[in-house]
Structure 1
Amino acid sequence: MPELPAPDYPQDVRDRLETDAREIIARYPDSRSALLPMLHLVQSEEGHVTRTGMRFCAEMLDLTTAEVTAVATFYTMYRRRPSGDYQVGVCTNTLCAVMGGDAIFEDLQQHLGVGNNGTTPDGKVTLEHIECNAACDFAPVVMVNWEFFDNMTPAAARQLVDDLIEGRPVTPTRGAPLCTFKETARILAGFPDERPGAVE
């Protein structure tokens, strides 16, 4: 059965997103080049790329929704369904798997009571297995919203997700301070990271 047209954003949300979108589009000589950051922008609004978000991008960039959908579904960094505040990815590629990544992933599935791409009932954590993050010398690696947690163990990974769920601060092994998935998406759209300790 064909889907109905995507609903509109509420007017106040659309006005705010249009202001941000114009700022993004102005960075590029050809507006269509702004599609990737625009997808991050709409993802920062709802935590995933919705049909409404894709329609908004198409309208702002003078593209078809098919063109936007093709890009949004090609890249794994764009979520197509609701997910948690924290995307917890366990590398299960060869080296991380051998070094304990598979055990960490299985342990977290049991601990959180969710499967791959499952989200905890409180909406805090989405668990996923991820492919190589080019950090093999720090295996096994867990990523949270694309920030690295190196040399993990099942116990350390359980503590990490428990801290995220309880709202306790966690510090990545390297990189920027941790923020929510929506905040991360806004930063990836090209807006300033105003958190203490962030790179200017």
Structure 2
Amino acid sequence: MTIATAERAAQDAAQAVIDLEERVRDGDTTVTATMLEKARKEASFAQLQIDAARRGVEKERQAEHAADVKAFMADYEEHMAGADLTDLRGAYADAVVSVAYLFTLLEDRRREQTAIMNRGQSLGLTVGKTPVPNDADRWREQFLNPATDFVALAVEEGQKGFASRNGQPAVHVLHTPERREEIGSLPRDDKHERGIEMRDRILNEAIAATEPA
């Protein structure tokens, strides 16, 4: 029996008691004490059936919850038993080495860059930010801006396929011409989805290149 059905039955039983009591008050001698007592017992029993229905619903809820917990624990144990962080730890260690290598190369290049600028200035050749004015274009193509965090850009690019500047895909001096063209071709509308596709392709190509033929 559902709670709603039990409640309707209890309402009917309670109303039956009220109706009998009113008939007695109105002088109806056909209503006996036995009839009234029976109606009251039925109304009391109907209330118990409401409690029974509610308890039944609660028992079902508890049983469902217990089943869900049991299923979860089975999945949890399977997850924990099969947990192997070897690949993740290896990838993390490789990333640390790659970051260290990139950072070291950047620092070396920037030191050389600064030294060239200082020498150009001491010789009176430097104009603005170019040590050799008539070679400004080539200098700009290889200039590493000290304010640019290339490590952070590499992390972002590895996460979503491209790094952003002002919300748009950004290219920089460390990109190959092919990579610049690829990033520059990303459409504005679905650039994030295309970026993920591009990231996955680059990753798969890199993995394939390390596998034996």
- Greater CA radius of gyration, 1 or 2? 2
The higher-RCO structure (CA 8 Å, 6+ apart) is: 1
Structure with bigger strand share is 1
TM over 0.5: no
Could you say which TM-score interval applies, normalised by the shorter chain?
A: under 0.3
TM-score (structure 2 length as normaliser) = 0.21
